[in-house]
Copies of this chain bind each other. A is one copy, B any other.
Amino acid sequence: MPKPTFDNLPAEKRASLMALALQEFAEHDFATASVSRLVDRAGIAKGSLYQYFDDKADLFVYLVAQAEATLLGALQTLGGRGDPLGDGFLQRLRGQMSATIQAALAHPREARLIQRARQAPPEVRQRLDRHDARLRIDHMRSLLVEAQASGELAGDYDPELVAHLLAAIMSGLGPVVMARLGFDPERDSDVPSERLDPVILEPIFDEVLRFISHGLRPASALV
């Protein structure tokens, strides 16, 4: 965790420094990100940075926690639309899908940083707070259990397993969207955000949700 000196910093200086740090660790993975480059860009001495944080990993952990908070906040305001209790499971899932993409669009550096955190070296990953991925799985599972109890979803699925499957589908949504737009998910790493308007996204969500709800077998098949 940051040293007390960091908290005493003028808010403005602290914010601009963290913005640059976020940029550095979003653009490069943990091993490649450079503290030297960061302090050069920030115009402070390297010694100063080490008055704020114990080491590189300490800074990284702090940035990841901040980014998760930022994204979670965005997710909650975006996903709050629609009646959270009245809507069914599939409606809420659609809301989450949409909100996740919108949040990642609004905060690309934060989203990228969290991706980086997942593939950080083990000794760094151990110092991270419990990942938000686990929180998402748990949240998803509780939604599933609820929907199973209400009869909206088949009750004989293992909620934990399905939660992981849905998480996998949601994390695979990026390539799905890119493929639909004609990009190559292997080569290109980003899509111009102006291409991602609801007119494109909604039909994709429709089809994905139909898959989740109905599966692949033909509608005429007997139960």
Contact = CB atoms under 8 A, between A and B. Distances in A.
Given A133-B186, A134-B186, A161-B179, A216 B168 contact: no
A162 interface: yes
- How many copies of the chain does the oligomer comprise? 2
Interface residues of A, number: 53
Nearest to A121: B32
A168 B175 contact: yes
A196 to B, nearest CB: 16
Given A121-B32, A171-B168, A214 B217 contact: yes
Interface string A30-53: 011000000000000000000000
Given A161-B176, A161-B179, A161-B180, A219 B154 contact: yes
Nearest to A207: B161
Interface in A123-171: 125-126, 130-131, 133-134, 151-155, 157-158, 160-162, 164-165, 167-169, 171
Contacts of A172: 164-165, 167-169, 171-172
A17 interface: no
Contacts of A161: 176, 179-180, 204, 207-208
Interface string A15-35: 000000000000001011000
A186 B130 contact: yes
A171 B158 CA distance: 19
Interface in A161-219: 161-162, 164-165, 167-169, 171-173, 175-176, 179-180, 184, 186-187, 189, 204, 207-208, 210-219
A223 interface: yes
Contact of A213 (B31, B204, B217): B217
Contacts of A171: 168, 172
19 contacts: A31-B31, A122-B189, A133-B186, A134-B184, A152-B217, A153-B217, A154-B214, A154-B216, A160-B180, A161-B176, A161-B204, A161-B207, A162-B216, A164-B172, A168-B173, A169-B172, A212-B216, A214-B217, A220-B223
